[in-house]
């Protein structure tokens, strides 16, 4: 079991990884159902955001409630929320990787929008308007940053530091 022999921070990281994958799938599915673009169907996209935010909140509440119930059943609930210097050191290293990832994603998004506007017959996502690409791209970039941050944390925890 993934939760065996791990502390609260590592367990939170596992939950966040599952969260990022679940929300990406939810948002991706919602995006497929969208008709038209942001300029013509803005309310649909705004509703998708609202639904995604609500689902995120519900997911986090349920996941952490289950975690706290499991921990109190195992009798180690006094460790709940305890963050020590090793957790902080691991978070700092993971944040650095997440920052690199964010930088990379933003660069890709902006380069794509720039290329789409200046290159005739630009081959990538030519049927998606730049504003829509930016909106959805930013959402996925945020989820990818979260995924990289937590995955790096888990890797560091497994490596022990």
Residues lying near another protein in the complex (CB under 8 A): 5-10, 78-79, 82, 84-87, 157, 159-161
Q: Which is nearer to another protein, 7 or 95 (CB)?
A: 7
State in angstroms the smallest separation of the CB of 94 from another protein.
15
Q: What angle do CA 8, 75, 159 make, to 5 degrees?
A: 30
- Using CA atoms, how far apart are residues 108 and 147, in angstroms rounded to an integer? 18
Report the alpha-carbon distance of residue 4 to residue 13 in Å, rounded. 14
In the complex, least distance from residue 159 CB atom to another protein, rounded to whole angstroms:
7
Whether the CB-CB separation of 89 and 161 falls below 8 Å is answered with yes
Judged by beta carbon, residue 1 or residue 32, the one nearer another protein is 1
Token pair 């789409």 is at which residue? 116
Q: Which is nearer to another protein, 118 or 160 (CB)?
A: 160
Least distance between another protein and beta carbon 85 (Å): 5
């Amino acid at each position: 079991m993934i939760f065996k022999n791990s502390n609260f921070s590592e367990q939170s990281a596992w939950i966040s990884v599952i969260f990022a994958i679940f929300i990406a799938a939810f948002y991706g599915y919602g995006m497929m159902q969208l008709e038209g673009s942001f300029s013509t169907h803005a309310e649909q996209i705004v509703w998708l955001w609202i639904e995604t935010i609500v689902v995120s909140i519900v997911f986090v509440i349920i996941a952490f409630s289950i975690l706290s119930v499991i921990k109190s059943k195992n009798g180690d609930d006094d460790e709940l929320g305890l963050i020590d210097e090793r957790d902080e050191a691991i978070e700092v290293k993971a944040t650095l990787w997440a920052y690199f990832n964010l930088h990379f994603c933003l660069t890709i998004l902006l380069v794509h929008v720039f290329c789409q506007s200046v290159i005739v017959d630009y081959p990538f996502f030519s049927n998606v308007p730049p504003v829509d690409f930016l909106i959805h791209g930013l959402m996925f970039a945020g989820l990818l940053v979260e995924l990289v941050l937590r995955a790096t944390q888990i890797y560091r925890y497994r490596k022990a530091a």
